[in-house]
Structure formats: structure tokens, C-alpha cells
Amino acid sequence: MAFDYEKYIRPGKLPHIWCPGCGHGIIMKGLIRALDSLKLDMTQTSIVSGIGCASRLPGYMDCCTLHTAHGRAAAFATGIKLAKPEMNVICVGGDGDGTAIGGNHFIHACRRNIDITYVIMNNYIYGMTGGQFSPTTPTGNKASTTPYGNPDPCFDVAKLAIGAGATFVARGTAFHANQIDKLIAEAIQHKGFSVVEILDDCPTTYGRRNKFKSVVEMMNRLKEVAVPVKAAEKMTAEQLQGKILTGVLYKDETKPEYTAEYDKVIERAQAKK
């Protein structure tokens, strides 16, 4: 029997706003399968986003959803999670939202190691505003605001998350659809701040400016550059040139989780009273 996505979707809210060929829908389906595999209670699950194409995702999902201001998802989610640690709190959003305007909130959520899962849908571009370069747009690429090629170096989102203190960091791609649900499910189960970066495609505003002739070509690129971490162990530096590691990149189960630490603050305060 085909998987029933509809029971997680709000009635009447589809079709979504995403362009034909965009990978966001693939990622949303992966997220739904992850929620389903964990049998999470949707009344106890909150999905929080900022602004951008990817940030429209919560509106389609039938749970406690919050579409906030640009970049602020992690900070809003921190409030919900600290208030109600029993809830499952998931952030979704794009690369610009999460790592440019929301970069500060993102790294501090990583640092606190608060038990939130952040799914970054990285399509290398500001799609909703028409294709301006983001902190993940590769150097030299074209965007509507880098007509002569992008002079900016870019972030490696996974490395940024690890460096900032996230305790579970994984990467997948929109091409490897069957892996997305597993990565997100493992991230949700992890006690601590978990980041799942999904490399995505934006044919409308990124692909056409950067000589991708079709969505298929963009998807094929994701297929070609992705190397599972296990496979990479057997590859030489030369073979790994231009490749991007996928799978679970980092996991630390020793660092204390923030809301559990705050419970200890309450205990200490009450013992002193």
C-alpha cells in the first residue's frame, strides 16, 4: 500500500507554493515519513520556520506550526522547547534564512545543545526574492546580485553546526530521497541540537543562471557529488575532490542537553529556597 502522506497534511492546504522541479516537496515527504516512523503525537509536535520558500512548509503540516519572521526560527523554537520540553520541536528553513539573517540564532542554538532538530533545505540561493546569493552559494556562481560571479566564500553548514556545538549533524540530498526520512528520524531521536542539511535544488532562480539545463541535470549533480561517509573512508583525497559527504557526519551523546540542564537549575534554586 502506498504511504499515506495526507494524514499529516492540513486539508485544503495543497497545492504548495513551490515551483515544479524544486526539491522542497521531496524533503517535506521525507520529514513526514520520519514523523510517521517515530509515531510522534502531532498535538505534541511543533514545526517552526522563518521566511522563505522552505519556511512555507509548516503551513502544510497538521501539527503545532509557527511561521515566524526572517531568520528567527531557532530562537522561537528555543522558547517553545524551554517552555515545554516534552514537545517535539523541529525547525525547517532555507540556507539564507538559517545561516545569514538567522546565523546568530542558529549557532547559539547549536551551542546550547537544546533538543531541537533543524532541517536546513540548502538550495544555495534566496529563491523567494528571486535568486540572490546566499551564504552557501558557491564562489564564482551567478545569482541576481552576483552578475559577474559570486566573490563571497561560502559556509559549509554541517561544519558550521559542528563547530558551534551541535551534537548531531547529518547531510543528505533531495536526490537521495529514501535517506532523508532516516536522517531526520535519527536526528529527532537524538537528545540535543541536531542539524540535518539537505542539499536541494532551485531550478527557477539558481539552476537557470548557472548553466543547469534541466531539473534532471540538477538532481544528477546531487547524485554525483554525494559520497556516503562510509564510502569516503576508503577513498583518497584526490577521489574526494569536489565531493560532498552525506550521512551522519557527527554525533556526540556526552554533551548535556539544555532543557535537562535547566531542570537542574530549577532543582538547585528550589533546594536553596
Among 1, 2, 86, 236, binds other proteins (CB under 8 A): 86
Place of cell 547531510: 171
Distance of alpha carbon 89 from alpha carbon 45, whole angstroms: 6
Tell whether residue 105 is a contact of other proteins (CB under 8 A). Answer: yes
Residue 157 CB, nearest approach to other proteins (Å): 18
Enumerate residues 207-236 that contact other proteins by CB under 8 A: none
Whether 179 and 245 have beta carbons less than 8 Å apart is answered as no
**Residue 21 in the binding site for other proteins (CB under 8 A):** no
- Binding flag, residue 15, other proteins (CB under 8 A): no
**Stretch binding other proteins (CB under 8 A), from 25-33, 42-50, 220-228, 233-241:** 42-50
Reading the block at residue 192, the C-alpha cell is 540535543
The CB-of-66 to other proteins minimum distance in angstroms stands at: 5
79 touching other proteins, by CB under 8 A:
yes
> Burial letters for 71-97: b for 16+ Cβ neighbours within 10 Å, e otherwise?
bbbbbbbbebbeeebebbbbbbbbbbb
Long-range contact list for 75-82, CB < 8 A, 24+ apart?
A: 75/105, 75/109, 76/48, 77/46, 77/48, 77/109, 77/116, 77/118, 78/105, 78/109, 78/112, 78/114, 78/116, 80/46, 80/48, 81/114, 81/115, 81/116, 81/259, 82/114, 82/258, 82/259, 82/262
Please, which residue, 201 or 257, has the CB nearer to other proteins? 257
For position 83 contacting other proteins by CB under 8 A, the verdict is: yes
Q: Which of the ranges 74-82, 164-172, 189-197, 215-223 carries the binding residues for other proteins, by CB under 8 A? A: 74-82
Contact between 68 and 95 (Cβ < 8 Å):
no
> Applying CB under 8 A, does 27 fall inside the site for other proteins?
no
Q: Which is nearer to other proteins, 109 or 174 (CB)?
A: 109
Binding site for other proteins (CB under 8 A): 10, 13, 42-44, 46, 48, 51, 58-59, 62-69, 72, 75-84, 86-87, 104-105, 108, 262, 265-266, 268-270, 272-273
